[in-house]
Structure 1
Amino acid sequence: MDTVPDSITPVRLGEVLLVTFPTDLTDELAVRTQRDLSAMVARGGIRGVVIDVSAMWVVDTFICRVLADTAAAVKLLAAETVVAGLRPAIAMTLVELGMTLSGLRTALNTEAALARLGAGARPSMEKP
Structure 2
Amino acid sequence: MNGGPALVSIMRQGSTLIASVHTALDDSQLVRFEHDLVDQIGEHRSRGVIIDVAALDVIDSFAALTLRRIAEMARLRGALTVVVGIQPEVAFTMVRLGMGTGDVPTALDLEEGLALLAAHAPRARSGTSTDTSNGYP
Category of TM-score, reference length = shorter chain: 0.7 to 0.9
Cα displacement string for residues 31-57 of structure 1 (whole angstroms, at most 9, x for unaligned residues)? 111101111112352000000000011
Matched AA of 1:50: I
Give 1:126's aligned residue: none
CA RMSD, Structure 1 to Structure 2 (Å): 1.9
Q: Which runs of 5+ in 1 are unaligned?
A: 120-128
Cα displacement string for residues 16-72 of structure 1 (whole angstroms, at most 9, x for unaligned residues)? 000111223222221111101111112352000000000011111111111111011
Give 1:89's aligned residue: 89
Contact 2:7 2:25 (C-alpha < 8 Å) held by counterparts? no
Following superposition, which runs of at least 4 residues in structure 1 exceed 3 angstroms of deviation? 3-7
Structure with bigger RCO (C-alpha 8 Å, 6+ apart):
1
Give 2:12's aligned residue: 12
Give 1:125's aligned residue: none
Distance (Å, rounded) in 1 between the aligned partners of 2:6 and 2:112: 28
Q: Which runs of 5+ in 2 are unaligned?
A: 120-137
Q: How has the CA–CA distance of structure 1 residues 4 and 98 changed in structure 2, closer, same or farther, with 3 Å as cutoff? A: farther
Give 2:21's aligned residue: 21
Distance (Å, rounded) in 2 between the aligned partners of 1:21 and 1:8: 5
- TM-score normalised by L of structure 2: 0.78
| Alignment: residue pair count | 117
Alignment of 1:1-128 (within 5 A): 5=5, 8-118=8-118
Contact 2:82 2:107 (C-alpha < 8 Å) held by counterparts? yes
Larger radius of gyration: 2
